[in-house]
Amino acid sequence: MTATVSSATLVGVEGQPISVEVHVSTGIPSFSIVGLPDAACRESRDRVRAAILSSGMKWPQKRVTVNLAPSAVRKGGAGLDLPIALAVLIADAQLPAQAADDVGFIGELGLDGSLRRVPGVLALAHAMSVSCLVVPPDCASEAALNPGVAVKSGGNLSAILACLRGRKSWEVPKPPSQESPPGRCLDLSDVRGQPLGRLAVEVAAAGGHHLLMVGPPGAGKTMLAERLVGLLPPLDICDALEVARIHSAASLDLPAGTLGVRPPFRAPHHSASAVSMVGGGGTQMRPGELSCAHHGVLFLDELAEFSAVVLDTLRQPLEERQVRVSRARASVVFPADVLLVAAMNPCPCGTNNGPGSCSCSDSARQRYASRVSGPLLDRFDLRVRLDRPLVSELLQDSDGGTIPGDCTSNRNESTEMVAARVLGARAMSSDRGYPTNSAIPSNCLEDAAPLSTGASRLLEVRLRQGALSARGLHRVRRVSRTIADLSGWSGALREEDVYSALALRSNVLSRSPGVSYGAEAVGARNG
């Protein structure tokens, strides 16, 4: 007798529908699985047999053949245990044939018949065209985030068999919420001083421009990067589902019963390998940190400490906004539309904060700077140098004033205030037909970012001096458009817009001690 049960397997971050076909016939008792299973799928033979016997059912003493269709797709993981077990019981006439009609099954079986969670349930549920999906209890809330599918669960194989026979009611998860759970809010007003850094993260968030910050320890680089994600607009439902599917495939924890709308923030350690950064692996390729930061921020702290191979693997994904991983047996495309933010010290000792403060030789500083290749450096639209804040700025109280006896006063804007400007700038970009200004194609810059006479003259001087390449020219115009949008200006780019964009693109890795960069950008914007 033959039985077919619907399921799915994970290919990258996408689900692939699978038909589990089981044929039970007379002959020498055996159990074989065909259809390109990996080691975890082949080992399901022993798990399924033990689970069926532990659930009080009989194991067929016949020839059992399992086919995972389509046969051309490689199947990975243990999520096919449950559908294989049910298909065996249906084919052996121990379960009614109509019990699995229009129902999909996903789950790993324990030897005692218990159901265990599997990664990528959200993507697997999205791939199956069924009206009902049965998953392990630990995966129920995650699977319910996918709209249009009725999700049910059972604690073990015995409970599922009882539900399929109508002797017991299914466990139904609570409907998902579309509100993010409360969490610790990192406010931009916590940063003392650093007007240039605050301007850089605002421009980066508004236009989707990659940002590199160079400065000594204690300058506030990490604080600014961690607060940048709070300036980004919340994700819409489609983007939130896409991010949730990626995180599910990467076995990252998702908020229980909640569809998170906050952009993700990923900060991998500098010892990360190339595969962990861009994705890949063996038979079952998984998304890397670059894809886990999709529609959010990827923060690379201590950029110069990353392997040169790892950094160079980022170059193409940053341009194409996706990762193409090709192996001998499969090719997978991972989404990777990220805002890259990086931070590094100006020299090996990290104390290059003024004349006489650095003990490194010129050759040591040059070797340290060369760890970041020129092509990767060119991907950063914004490059700013940050020095340690002044003592008077560090001693400001929480209300924006100063400690008594200090003669300075500087009230820092909060994340809420800056995020409102970022949202307005993104709305202006959306009206032009682009999600962010960094996505404006080069051949559309004349329409989206036209130049005034003064701005054109300024760029011509920089080009003739060799300070800008053709690619750099396009990036400066995109950044200039973002700066203009933040000020509410939708006309031709003004000279001060271009001047600020050029100041935010300084040559930070060849700076001599004591030279200040970028202060003119703050002055031009405030003016």
**From the CB of residue 514, how many other CB atoms can be counted at a distance below 10 Å?**
13
Phi-psi region of 166 (alpha: psi -120 to 50; beta: other; left: phi over 0): left
Domain with CATH 3.30.230.10 in the chain: 2-164
Question: What are the backbone angles phi and psi of residue 175, rounded to the nearest 5°?
Answer: -60, 140
- Do 207 and 427 touch, CB atoms closer than 8 A? no
pLDDT at 413: 85
pLDDT at 185: 67
Q: CA neighbours within 13 Å on the CB side: how many for 24?
A: 18
Give the H or E element holding residue 188.
none
Instruction: Give the contacts of 497 (CB within 8 A, at least 6 positions apart).
Output: 455, 480, 481, 483, 484, 487, 489
Beta bridge partners of 22: 3, 66
Q: 265-266 and 297-300 as β-strands: parallel, antiparallel, unpaired?
A: parallel
146 alpha carbon, distance to own chain's centre: 19
Query: Tens digit of pLDDT per residue, the chain (527 long)?
Result: 899 999 999 988 889 999 999 999 988 989 999 998 888 888 998 999 999 999 999 999 999 999 999 988 888 888 999 999 999 999 999 999 888 888 999 999 999 999 999 988 999 998 998 889 999 998 888 888 888 788 999 889 999 999 998 888 888 887 666 555 545 568 888 888 888 999 999 999 999 999 999 988 888 899 999 999 999 999 998 999 899 999 988 988 887 667 778 899 999 999 999 999 998 876 678 899 999 999 999 999 999 999 999 999 999 999 999 999 887 777 889 999 999 999 998 888 776 655 556 778 888 888 888 888 888 988 899 999 998 887 777 776 545 444 333 333 335 788 999 999 999 999 999 999 999 999 999 999 999 999 999 999 999 999 998 888 888 899 999 999 999 999 999 999 999 999 999 999 987 775 443 333 444 455 555 54
Q: What is the CATH number of domain 2-164?
A: 3.30.230.10
pLDDT at 404: 38
Q: Is the bond preceding residue 37 a cis peptide, omega within 30 degrees?
A: no
Domain with CATH 3.40.50.300 in the chain: 188-526
Q: What is the CATH number of domain 188-526?
A: 3.40.50.300
pLDDT at 408: 36
| Helical ranges in 44-192 per DSSP H | 44-54, 81-91, 121-127, 137-143, 157-164
pLDDT at 469: 84
Q: At what angle do helices 415-431 and 470-486 cross, to 10 degrees?
A: 120
pLDDT at 183: 52
pLDDT at 354: 55
| C-alpha–C-alpha distance, residues 106 and 4, integer Å | 14
CA nearest to 291, candidates 332, 342, 235, 237: 332
